[in-house]
Amino acid sequence: MPQVSAPILIDGSYGEGGGALIRTALCMAALTQTPIRVDQVRGGTSYPGLDAEDLLLIQALTVSCAAETVGVEKTASSFSFLPTRLPSGLNLELTALEGVRGANANVVLNALVPVLARAGVYSRVSAQGETYGHRSLSFDYFENVTLPALKKLGIYVFPELEKAGFGREAKGVVAVEVEPSVIEGFKWEERGKLQACEGLIATSHLPRDIAERGIAHLKKMAETAGIEINVEQEEVHSDRPGAHLTLWTTFENGMGGAAVMGTKGVRVETLAHAAFEELLVWLKSTGTVDPFLADQILLPAAFAENGCSFTISRLTERFMTSVWVIKQFLPIHITVKGSIDGPGSVVVKR
């Protein structure tokens, strides 16, 4: 019988102590076939314990890695995940769990992508939950920023918004098809020329003129700032009314953006102004990726054949926590220069 190594112990309250730590630990465990035990799950947040996103991700990884689990239940403060094989492909539907804080479908699928990319076969996974939320990964950012960046790493993913879900308790559905991929690094140390500035207002069950007003306001602000922008409106299928604005820019070497969720009683012009101000902060920086994209490319970058380097417009505690987690599994060099809330540079070498 093969020798089973002792689980790596992970402190779930370390650093930022949130969901990114849990997702990184689980995916690293799957990719390296390493058992883990996590204590003080999400100990740095206002919602400690396993939540819906964690449970859906564990469900998928358990199937992919034929894993054994201990203590995996809603709000559990500790659990163990013991993969018995390296990841295999999936054809799976992940449905929302009752009685726990809702999941962001994009976040779950984004975590799975680098695992499935190394499974050696095509996979198709759908996840139910929020697709547009407040300060969380939106489908439009996922499709137009995250996945193009992963493509630069050699990972090919084809997304589909089957049903929009506005808010944490929504039951939208996102599906992805993931090709088997060889992960290759890139050197994004300087942005180069700006190639495009784009945006999308996703709306459901709202008068069309609301989106048109938002687009007009965005174009007016962009003209004043000397920026050429192309913004479109898309009516998405959803059970409830909603609006979400995503803006993004593509450079020769890098990309990033901004996203804002509409709320009842807030004018669309206010929504547009908030998103554009966030975009300007990103544009005025020198980073090749924004703080959110940095989180999303770090784990696959750790498996890139020829290393990877990029600069970040703003370093976060969340990013540094993920760096720490990855180093628990691999003898890898991840050099980060800069301080929290300031610009930074990252070099990953295996």
Tens-digit pLDDT profile for residues 285-336:
999 999 999 999 999 999 998 999 999 999 999 999 999 999 999 999 999 9
Percent of the chain with pLDDT over 90: 93
Describe the strand order of the beta sheet including 254-261 as a list of residue ranges.
Answer: 230-235, 194-204, 242-251, 254-261
Strand partners, 157: 178
Q: How far apart are CA 296 and CA 146, in angstroms?
A: 7
Amino acid at 150: L
Which one, of 110, 99, 111, lies nearest residue 50 by Cα? 99
Structural domains of the chain, ranges and CATH numbers in brackets: 8-182 (3.65.10.20), 191-284 (3.30.360.20)
Phi, psi of 157 (to 5 degrees): -135, 140
Instruction: Fill in the DSSP letter of residue 156.
Output: -
pLDDT-based confidence at 201, cuts 50/70/90? very high
Strand partners, 258: 247
Phi, psi of 214 (to 5 degrees): -65, -40
pLDDT-based confidence at 265, cuts 50/70/90? confident
Q: Are 41 and 77 in contact, with CB atoms under 8 Å apart?
A: yes
State pLDDT tens for residues 204-242. 999 989 999 999 999 999 999 999 999 999 999 999 999
Q: Is the pLDDT of residue 89 over 70?
A: yes
Measured N-to-C along each axis, helices 291-301 and 105-117 cross at an angle, to the nearest 10 degrees, of: 30
**Can you point out the beta strands (E) in 143-253?**
157-163, 172-178, 187-188, 194-204, 230-235, 242-251
Q: Is the pLDDT of residue 4 over 80?
A: no
DSSP secondary structure of 268-312 = HHHHHHHHHHHHHHHHHS--SB-HHHHHHHHHHHTT-TT-EEEEE
Q: Is the pLDDT of residue 36 over 60?
A: yes
pLDDT-based confidence at 97, cuts 50/70/90? confident
Amino acid at 122: Y
pLDDT-based confidence at 2, cuts 50/70/90? very low
pLDDT at 34: 97
Q: How far apart are CA 127 and CA 276, in angstroms?
A: 30
Q: How far apart are CA 24 and CA 29, in angstroms?
A: 8
pTM (two decimals):
0.96
